[in-house]
Chain A
């Protein structure tokens, strides 16, 4: 409603303005026409034949448990995100630095003949053929310096980075094994470009063996490199599934109602009910409180463990890179 002064000003304006007078009249007609609408008759009675199941708000304990689980899930998810970022940031390269070196060292130890000219030539593709997916040149160079036999073979080393991507997909280069090299069938990866001959066959076994042992580690990098990865990863979906199941009806109810205040009112009601129940139960540690502490402990424990694990993982990553 307009105040007396505003109304007088409006009337004064309307007296002088034909357009506004016309618009006001049209608005009045519109409102009058809308007001003339009568309500539709109901086609049937909407009375309820039977009482619908009353909407049950989750019990306070269930809500707290849900919150605890959510918290734990969020913590674990955050820790996993950190680990994934860490892996992408450099841990993958670091894990693979060691593999070629290890394989070359093993080759050296177990097959001293590799240090010869042809043997060295044969050892090189094996070293590059180890499942070093990225096969960073740095790692190869490091391997070369660690194995004096490889120093004398600059040509294969020069070709190493080019050959490395193939090695990613087909471990130890299955392409074009030389014809007439029976060991190539048994140990397909080693003999690429290696001249046929007994020494090579002898060398091939120790050269091939360590990468074969390490291959799953390179493929399933997270599980292999991080001891607790699989254990931590597997509970996560369970926690998530539990939360989503709890969340589902709650979310649906909230959306169906679309009334935030009602939800708040419901929460307040539940809180009051919980308090009343606690009051009824009297002193001591009530069941509610015990469950709450259990939830808090559970959530905090999972969170701390996950954080520690993530921290240790980062430490390892940084140390390895250094």
Chain B
């Protein structure tokens, strides 16, 4: 979602207008929280998302234009990477287990019937488990590209790496996800099953 007066809101926020900044928070909080949740699980996602917005407010002066969403997601990605690094030093519960506890927050589709909704949830669960098997950098780029639909330009901004690196990570991440899903193809909903 892009708001028309985003630039004006950023400028006002820089001058200390907290309401303007909170408007930006309202616009992007779902995306930031979703990224944190898929990267870290439910337990840590809330803290990471909040930390992202606090850091963003503090560092507004370092925003040099371009996509505010990409800039914000970059801060979120860094927060996630920091948390993952901390976890590596102090291993705890698995990401899947952590995510299952918070998966009920997945937004239901208003048009889907009960059966479709159940299938959708099941697919979401499989996909999340598949994402959890990816290395963090590939998971990050696959989430941002395929779930959040960032453009390649935004991805290079959000990840701080070259286009070639972004494409390479996407290709590797998708290939692993394909392997994971095809190994469980019988669990996929009808529309995602390939005709033999």
A interface residue numbers (CB < 8 A to B): 22-23, 25-27, 29-48, 50-55, 255-262, 265-266, 269
Shortest Cβ distance from A32 into B: residue:
B192
Number of B residues near A (Cβ < 8 Å) is 54
Q: Shortest Cβ distance from B93 into chain A, in angstroms? A: 18
CA distance A142 to B112 in the complex (A): 102
Instruction: Report yes or no: B21 in contact with A46, Cβ–Cβ below 8 A.
Output: no
Interface string of B74-92 (1 = CB under 8 A from A): 1100100110000000000
Q: Which residues of A contact B106 (CB under 8 A)?
A: 38, 40-41
Instruction: Report yes or no: A48 in contact with B62, Cβ–Cβ below 8 A.
Output: no
Instruction: Report yes or no: A256 in contact with B55, Cβ–Cβ below 8 A.
Output: yes
B interface residue numbers (CB < 8 A to A): 16, 18, 21-22, 25-26, 29-34, 37, 46, 49-50, 53-55, 57-59, 61-62, 64, 74-75, 78, 81-82, 102, 105-107, 109, 120, 123-124, 127, 142, 146-149, 160, 174-175, 177-178, 181-182, 188, 192, 194
Q: Which residues of B contact A47 (CB under 8 A)?
A: 22, 25-26, 29, 53
Instruction: Report yes or no: B26 in contact with A30, Cβ–Cβ below 8 A.
Output: no
CA distance A34 to B123 in the complex (A): 9
Q: Shortest Cβ distance from A185 into chain B, in angstroms? A: 60
Instruction: Report yes or no: B57 in contact with A52, Cβ–Cβ below 8 A.
Output: yes
**When A48-B25, A52-B58, A259-B74 are in contact, do A43 and B146 touch as well, CB less than 8 Å?**
no
Q: Shortest Cβ distance from A161 into chain B, in angstroms? A: 52
Q: B33 is contacted by which of A23, A40, A256 (Cβ under 8 Å)?
A: A40
CA distance A47 to B177 in the complex (A): 34
**When A26-B194, A258-B78 are in contact, do A48 and B21 touch as well, CB less than 8 Å?**
yes
Q: Which residues of A contact B29 (CB under 8 A)?
A: 42, 45-47
CA distance A32 to B193 in the complex (A): 11
CA distance A38 to B50 in the complex (A): 21
CA distance A262 to B189 in the complex (A): 44
Most chain B C-beta atoms within 10 Å of own C-beta, residue among A33, A48, A261, A266: A33
Q: A46 is contacted by which of B49, B102, B149 (Cβ under 8 Å)?
A: B49
Instruction: Report yes or no: A48 in contact with B177, Cβ–Cβ below 8 A.
Output: no
Q: Which residues of A contact B120 (CB under 8 A)?
A: 36
**When A27-B174, A45-B29, A46-B33 are in contact, do A33 and B57 touch as well, CB less than 8 Å?**
no
**When A33-B181, A36-B123 are in contact, do A43 and B46 touch as well, CB less than 8 Å?**
yes
Q: Which residues of A contact B75 (CB under 8 A)?
A: 257, 259
Q: A33 is contacted by which of B22, B50, B81, B123 (Cβ under 8 Å)?
A: B123
Q: Shortest Cβ distance from A23 into chain B, in angstroms? A: 8
Q: A40 is contacted by which of B21, B102, B123, B127 (Cβ under 8 Å)?
A: B102
**When A42-B30, A47-B25 are in contact, do A37 and B124 touch as well, CB less than 8 Å?**
yes
